[in-house]
């Protein structure tokens, strides 16, 4: 059940000031993945063994997130933020016009970026592991593919940060804080969570 901070509004319609959107496992995943990916990037050229172990941590975190995307709470599930291409394109157009609607969970563009990042991380993990096997040990194209996917994933991570900053400014909401505390403020347009309707 979400933890709510409620301020009475009018009559029996009590809307919470804030609602917990991101559960603890999602938040731990997010910041642990950031640390592991950054460490893997820093150690890529000089420290093979630490780089390899960081890669295993990344792979384990991604595996967890894939499972949690099906069994976790509402906003952690893929069903909450995976949208059709048309809806994603429409959202991006609204962003250009400054009319993008605020989402309590991931917005359509953010959801698409999450999927792209997970795909990139899977690609990094698969090619990285392949480089440790006898079949692909020393195979140049595998190493090059690993580096290309890692670079593309880093670029996508940068775009993700840019999107977070844009949404934070556009909707006057600190999304970085939300990924730390798990809480986001509610608006009149947000549905009242079940726990707040009593």
Structure confidence by residue, pLDDT tens digits, 46-64 = 788 899 999 999 999 999 9
pLDDT of 16: 60
* C-alpha of 169 from chain center: 18
Using pLDDT thresholds of 50, 70 and 90, give the confidence band for residue 198: very low
Using pLDDT thresholds of 50, 70 and 90, give the confidence band for residue 103: confident
Helix (H, G, I), strand (E, B) or coil at 103: coil
Helix, strand, coil share (%) of the chain residues, nearest 5: 65, 10, 25
**pLDDT at residue 72 is higher than 60:** yes
Q: Report yes or no on 100 lying in a domain.
A: yes
Number of domains in the chain: 1
Q: Report yes or no on 86 lying in a domain.
A: yes
Q: Report yes or no on 167 lying in a domain.
A: yes
Q: Report yes or no on 89 lying in a domain.
A: yes
Q: Report yes or no on 33 lying in a domain.
A: no
How many degrees, rounded to 5, is the angle at CA 192 between CA 191 and CA 196? 165
Q: Report yes or no on 76 lying in a domain.
A: yes
Exposed e or buried b per residue across 68-102, where buried means at least 16 C-beta atoms within 10 angstroms of its C-beta? bbeebbebbebebbebeeeebeebeeebeeeebee
Q: Report yes or no on 83 lying in a domain.
A: yes
Domain housing 110: 48-180
Q: Report yes or no on 14 lying in a domain.
A: no
């Amino acid at each position: 059940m979400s933890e709510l901070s409620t301020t009475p509004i009018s009559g029996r319609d009590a809307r919470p000031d804030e609602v917990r959107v991101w559960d603890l496992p999602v938040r731990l995943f997010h910041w642990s993945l950031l640390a592991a990916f950054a460490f893997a990037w820093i150690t890529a050229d000089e420290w093979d063994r630490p780089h390899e172990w960081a890669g295993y941590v990344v792979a384990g975190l991604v595996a967890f997130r894939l499972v949690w995307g099906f069994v976790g709470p509402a906003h952690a599930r893929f069903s909450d933020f995976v949208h059709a291409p048309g809806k994603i394109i429409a959202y991006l157009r609204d962003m250009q016009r400054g009319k993008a609607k605020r989402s309590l969970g991931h917005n359509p563009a953010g959801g698409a970026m999450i999927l792209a990042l997970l795909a990139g991380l899977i690609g990094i993990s698969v090619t990285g592991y392949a480089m440790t096997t006898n079949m692909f040990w020393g195979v140049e194209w595998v190493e090059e593919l690993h580096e290309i996917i890692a670079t593309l994933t880093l670029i996508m991570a940068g775009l993700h940060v840019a999107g977070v900053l844009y949404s934070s400014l556009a909707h006057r909401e600190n999304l970085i804080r939300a990924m730390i505390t798990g809480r986001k403020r509610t608006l009149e347009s947000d549905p009242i969570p079940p726990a707040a309707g009593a």
